[in-house]
A and B are shown apart, each in its own frame.
Chain A
Amino acid sequence: MLDETQIRAMLKKRSGSLMEKIDFNIRVGFYILLTTVVFIIAWDVLGFTGHISGGSIQSNVPGWLLILDFVSNIVIVTLFITFFLHYFRVRRLCREHCDIRHALMKVIGILTLYQRLFVVLLFIIMISSATGFTAGYFASIRENQTSEGFLIPVILFGVVLIALLTWLIFKLLRWVFRKIYGNYLDQLRKTLAELDELN
């Protein structure tokens, strides 16, 4: 049996459960995302792109691309903040009042939402990057005045390259996500299914 000093000492040590790691990852992810978005916005607003390139790139970037960039940043941050608030509210409520079945349902719900959100955000980021890359690619072709004969193969090569890169990054990140959380989610679902067998 442990005395109060031993219990206090145990409380000071960090928890190592997967849920705590998910908590930690979500917090870190949130701060990284926020910092990146603030940095990108500051970069655009302060016009560093224009200064560095002497105005040439800035003036070649189509207006719709800047709007798309801005909108995707807003969507990403809004989605993440909504999820962040929802996640910690549910975690707190569940820790205090949930029975096993409800705790499982909530954790599964949150992780599924996290997984879906991750795919949606990844998709938005990939589309946004691919569009930016394409715009830059076309601007470069136009500036270099590529001859008619080379135009179609160059465009074709660029499009295939972008599609391939986008697909590869998307698949890789989704695989990493499944590797980290996939088994855990499966186990949770299996346990819940056992509880729901006759309910």
Chain B
Amino acid sequence: MEKEFLALIRVNQGIIHKVTSVYCDNEEDRKDLFQEILAQLWKSYPGFRQESKFSTWMYRIALNTAITSFKKWRRQPVANSLSLVNYQIADDNHSAETDENIALLKRAIARLTGIEKSIILLFLENKSYEEIADITGITQNYVRVKMNRIKTKLKGFMFSEE
């Protein structure tokens, strides 16, 4: 079972990197949260019944852990959060302007609440409203309402920085 688990984690570890990048500002905290999520995944793995996709299950555990951990992630200047970015928002062939926009977006995301971060992360991962509702435990309608609010909030943060 351990071998199977390790193989699955190796292939899907991007999910943990994305979650830790959204929730932590610095490398040390990211490592701590990564380890915490890994530990929770390993403890939960015997109960994984393949009723949902492995990635959905992984997101659920990872976000549950990130949200309920509430460790006082050491606050560092937001610019530091750009040093290690593992989640892909745009494709690799982007211009300097796109880079700046991505940086702005990441700084804006860092200012969201824990729940908002999880919803926007799942949205950026192209998860359907149904899947987001399934992972977060809220209704699809509420996911839509929340998404609209998050977009407005992000726009506000981004314009205020420009």
Q: Which A residue sits closest to B60, measured CB to CB?
A: A99
User: B16-50, CB under 8 A of A: which get 1 and which 0?
Assistant: 00000000000000001011101110111001100
Contact status of A103 and B115, CB under 8 A, knowing A15-B35, A16-B32, A95-B47 = no
**SS of A interface (majority):** helix
Q: Is A129 an interface residue (CB 8 A)?
A: no
For the complex formed, measure the closest distance between the CB of B65 and the CB atoms of chain A, giving whole angstroms.
Answer: 7
Q: Return chain B residues, CB-CB under 8 Å to A195.
A: 115, 136-138
Complex partner residue of A10 from B38, B47, B48, CB under 8 angstroms: B38
For the complex formed, measure the closest distance between the CB of B135 and the CB atoms of chain A, giving whole angstroms.
Answer: 6
Which residues of A are interface residues toward B (Cβ below 8 A)? 1-4, 7-8, 10-11, 13, 15-20, 92, 94-104, 107, 184, 187-188, 191, 194-195, 198-199
A10, B39: Cα distance in complex, Å? 8
Q: Is B139 an interface residue (CB 8 A)?
A: yes
Identify which of residues 1-22 in chain B touch chain A, using a CB-to-CB cut-off of 8 Å: 2, 6-7, 9-10, 13-14
B137–A100 CB distance below 8 A: yes
User: B115-153, CB under 8 A of A: which get 1 and which 0?
Assistant: 100100000000000000011111101100110000000
Given contacts A198-B141, A199-B139, 14 further A-B contacts (CB under 8 A): A3-B10, A10-B35, A15-B35, A15-B39, A16-B32, A16-B71, A17-B65, A18-B71, A19-B69, A99-B134, A99-B135, A104-B68, A184-B70, A198-B142
Q: Return chain B residues, CB-CB under 8 Å to A15.
A: 35-36, 39-40
A103, B113: Cα distance in complex, Å? 17
Which residues of B are interface residues toward A (Cβ below 8 A)? 2, 6-7, 9-10, 13-14, 32, 34-36, 38-40, 42-44, 47-48, 60-61, 63-65, 67-71, 113-115, 118, 134-139, 141-142, 145-146
Q: Return chain B residues, CB-CB under 8 Å to A2.
A: 10, 13
Q: Return chain A residues, CB-CB under 8 Å to B118.
A: 100
For the complex formed, measure the closest distance between the CB of B156 and the CB atoms of chain A, giving whole angstroms.
Answer: 18
Q: Which A residue sits closest to B141, measured CB to CB?
A: A198
A7–B9 CB distance below 8 A: yes
A10, B38: Cα distance in complex, Å? 8
A4, B6: Cα distance in complex, Å? 6
Contact status of A199 and B138, CB under 8 A, knowing A18-B69, A96-B47 = yes
For the complex formed, measure the closest distance between the CB of A192 and the CB atoms of chain B, giving whole angstroms.
Answer: 9
For the complex formed, measure the closest distance between the CB of A99 and the CB atoms of chain B, giving whole angstroms.
Answer: 3
Q: Return chain B residues, CB-CB under 8 Å to A17.
A: 36, 65, 68-69, 71
> When A and B form their complex, which 10 residue pairs have the shortest distance between CB atoms, in order from nearest?
A101-B137, A96-B47, A99-B137, A95-B44, A15-B39, A4-B6, A103-B64, A198-B142, A100-B136, A17-B69
Contact status of A7 and B6, CB under 8 A, knowing A99-B60, A100-B118 = yes
A15, B36: Cα distance in complex, Å? 6
